[in-house]
């Protein structure tokens, strides 16, 4: 069983998209029982809010069910609860490590670090390009699924 926490700034765009998409891909391969998936924010700005309508629309457009979700903030205790804590960009990693304090087991990475082309995933809150974000997250989740199985 691999426990994965996806993290972005507000937990309404990229991280819930990654959580739902990873669940979808695992289900398609009959591997849903191999994962515990969740998502969280590094900020408190959106706590309690549902996924951004752009995220929901993009997932729906690609036939992916949006997991029920309300934004939460990552907590120091989450380090012990998850095998991987995956930020969407370098700023997320800095904020995750600030909240957790340290990463002695090397659990904290970017989602796209599992791909042949490691890079940040742009925040569609600012870019407005939810399709590009979806494609980057799809690339990351497919690579992550291969890594974990």
Q: Could you tell me which of 117, 114, 96, 86 has the C-alpha nearest to residue 3?
A: 86
Res 67: pLDDT: 87
What pLDDT is stored for residue 53 in this prediction? Answer: 97
pLDDT of residue 42: 98
Mean per-residue pLDDT for 96-119?
Answer: 97
Q: Looking at residues 74-95, what average pLDDT do you find? A: 98
Which residue out of 13, 14, 89, 136 is catalytically annotated? 14
83 is catalytic: no
Q: Give the architecture (CATH level 2) of 2-148.
A: 3-Layer(aba) Sandwich (3.40)
> Which one is catalytic: 13, 89, 110, 123?
123
Angle at 146 between CA 41 and CA 112, to 5 degrees: 40
* Catalytic (active site) residue 123: yes
Averaged pLDDT for residues 105-127: 97
When pLDDT is cut at 50, 70 and 90, the band that residue 59 belongs to is very high
Catalytic residue among 8, 13, 89, 136: 8
Continuous segment of H or E residues that includes residue 18:
helix 14-28
First vs last Cα of the chain: how many Å apart? Answer: 10
Is 14 a catalytic site residue?
A: yes
Q: How far is CA 37 from CA 82, 128, 143, in A?
A: 9, 26, 16
Mean pLDDT of the chain: 97
Residue 78 pLDDT more than 90? yes
């Amino acid at each position: 069983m691999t426990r994965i926490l996806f993290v972005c700034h507000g937990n309404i765009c990229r991280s819930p998209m990654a959580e739902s998409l990873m669940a979808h891909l695992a289900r398609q391969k009959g591997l849903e029982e191999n994962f515990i998936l969740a998502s969280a924010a590094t900020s408190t700005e959106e706590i309690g809010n549902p996924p951004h309508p752009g995220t929901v629309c993009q997932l729906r457009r690609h036939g992916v069910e949006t997991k029920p979700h309300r934004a939460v903030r990552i907590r120091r205790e989450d380090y012990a609860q998850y095998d991987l804590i995956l930020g969407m960009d370098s700023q997320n990693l800095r904020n995750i490590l600030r909240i957790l304090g340290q990463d002695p087991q090397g659990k904290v990475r970017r989602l796209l670090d599992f791909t042949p082309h490691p890079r940040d995933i742009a925040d569609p809150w600012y870019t407005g390009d939810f399709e590009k974000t979806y494609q980057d997250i799809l690339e990351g989740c497919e690579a992550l699924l291969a890594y974990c199985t």
